[in-house]
Each structure stands twice: as structure tokens, then as C-alpha cells.
Structure 1
Amino acid sequence: MDVFQQKKKSTGRKKIEIKKLVKDANKQVTFSKRRAGLFKKASELCILCNVQMAIIVYSPADKLFSFGHPNTEAIVSRYLNGSTEFEPAKTRGRSGTYEEYNREYDEAIKVLEAQKKKLAEIETLAKVWNRGEWWNESIDEMGADQLEQFMLSIYALRGKLAERADQFPMMFARL
């Protein structure tokens, strides 16, 4: 028998009987696969026929999934209002251009980087303090926040020492 004349060993795609699935695990797997296909077909229909569409689905695990073209909120509100006119959904109290959103994004990234830098400084300071030698560290390279924290720690230490000294009045003379 020739290599080209051999038959496939896999059964390929088969038509399945449509009936309610019994096992919960099978329901979830089937839902996940078919949901993706449903949303893909809906997207194709919207593009090919220039229609607006919304699909809202709850999974067997009671998670909400939705598809909407141009967006789900606009389609649902159009349906609930009984309107035949399409009104794009408002952008939740914000109107802006891509440039504004990009600017806001850039600002958020800068804030995030600053927070990461501050976290790194705090972690470094925490390592020093956890070694128990924080009083030996130079204060020349500390930032304002670190100096303030250092000062508060010194005052807290001073207060604890004073409390401890009050417990032993005969051993320590107060200055």
C-alpha cells in the first residue's frame, strides 16, 4: 500500500447529538469552547452585515460573559428604552481623545515608577533595620521620609527607655 493511499487514523470532527450534559465538568468545558465560537460568529455577523448586537451569558459557574458591538451597554440600553435609534454609550462621565487617554496613561506610569522606587527604598531600609543595626547607618543618604521615620523611631526608643528606667529607680539616675 502506498503512503498516499493510507487512511487517517483519527476520526476527525463528528456531529454530536445535542442533549443536556450531565457532568458539571463537561458543562464548563463545553461552555468555554462554545462561548468563544459564539462570540467569534457574532463578531463576524456584526462586521459582515453592519449590525449592532449584544450577547449576555452566565456560565455554569455563574460567571457573567458578554459580547457587544459596538458595546454591550449601548445595545442593552437601546433595547430597554425601546429605541430604534442607536446612541453610543457615554464614556462614564468622561469624554476624551486618544491623546488625553495616552497622557493619563503616561502620568499613571510615572506615578507607578515613583511608587516602585519608594518601595525599593523602604525595603532597603527595612533590611537594615531588621539586622538590628539601624543606629549605625549613615543619615546623609536618607530622604526626607526616611529621616522622619528615623526620628520617630528614635523618639519611640527614647520613650521605651524612659519607661524601663522608671521600673528600676535605684539603678538609673534620670538625666
Structure 2
Amino acid sequence: MGRVKLQIKKIENSTNRQVTFSKRRNGLIKKAYELSILCDIDIALIMFSPSGRLSQFSGKKRIEDVLARYVNLPDHDRGGPLQNQEYLNRALKKLKCESDIASHLTSPASSVNSSVEELQQEISRFQQQLQIAEGRLSCFEADPSKITSLREAECCEKLLMDALTRVTQRKVSDTPLSLSLSLLKIFLSN
């Protein structure tokens, strides 16, 4: 049993019209995609549903680029003059700027991967700084059995003497809480 051929006219029932649009929209986008691949063409498809929702498709180039190419065609190639061509050009420039910003904010996978790599390097750098700071703070632990060589003992003594000198210099002006914070900053900066 075959399909019944539909008469091409506006569907009066709004629910049926919306359902038909939803079903046929995907088919139309698929055809536009196939045409752009098979024929290696620039294509831009813009549709507004009966409820006003936007559906769009573009092939290799962005919709803004295809529309700009259309607007900049000579009148005889376009099929006649455009109304408000200057307005369209300004609107296209604005759309292109907004699209550039949006694409930058939603960066493609390659820039996401590079961002992830940068974050991993930064994490590694911070872990190294943390290890160094923990090593410096270990000099202030009460357990001398953790010092394994004379060089480590001399290093700890030097750090303690430097810290003591700084503490005595700042003791006059610092409160106990700010003194603790200052000491922590000093040891972390070394």
C-alpha cells in the first residue's frame, strides 16, 4: 500500500502544522547537508517554525559568510535590487562579531584540549611549588631525626636564622595574626 499524495496547501490545524514542520525540517536539513558535500557548495538554510523557533544549517562556511556573499552580489546576479542593502551589511557585520564571540566562548575541541594541557601544566607547577614550600616548612618541625645530613641541618639553621631576623624586624608593628600570615608568606616566597 502506497502513501497518499498530499495536496500542497497550508495546513489549517496549528498542531498538525507544527508536527509536519518538525518531521520535514530534519529531512530538509539532511538534503542541504548532502547537497553541500556532494556538490562542494556553500549553503545556508534558515527556517522559522510556526511557533517562531529558529532552525539553521550551514555547510563549510558560516551562515553569515554565505549571506554576506549573497548581499554583495551584483543586482542582476541576485535577481533584482535588495531593499536596505546598507542595513543588511551592518546587520551581517554585527552577526559576524557576535558569532566570533560565541565561537570563542564555546571554543572548539582543539582549543579546549590546549586549555586542558595548560591547566595540567599549571597544576604540575603548583604541585612543585607546594613540595618546595613543604620542604621549607619541614625545617620548623620539632623532629630533628628527619634531618639526614649536615648540609640539610645547615640549610635549616640558615632558614631559621633568616626567619628569626625578619620576625624581630616586624615584631614591633605586627599583630599576632598578621605576624603568622607574614611568616607564612615569607616561607612560601622563598
TM-score past 0.5 threshold: no
Provide TM-score, normalisation by structure 2: 0.41
**Structure in which a larger fraction of residues adopt helix:** 2
Query: Which structure would you say has the larger RCO, counting Cα contacts within 8 Å and 6 or more residues apart?
Result: 2
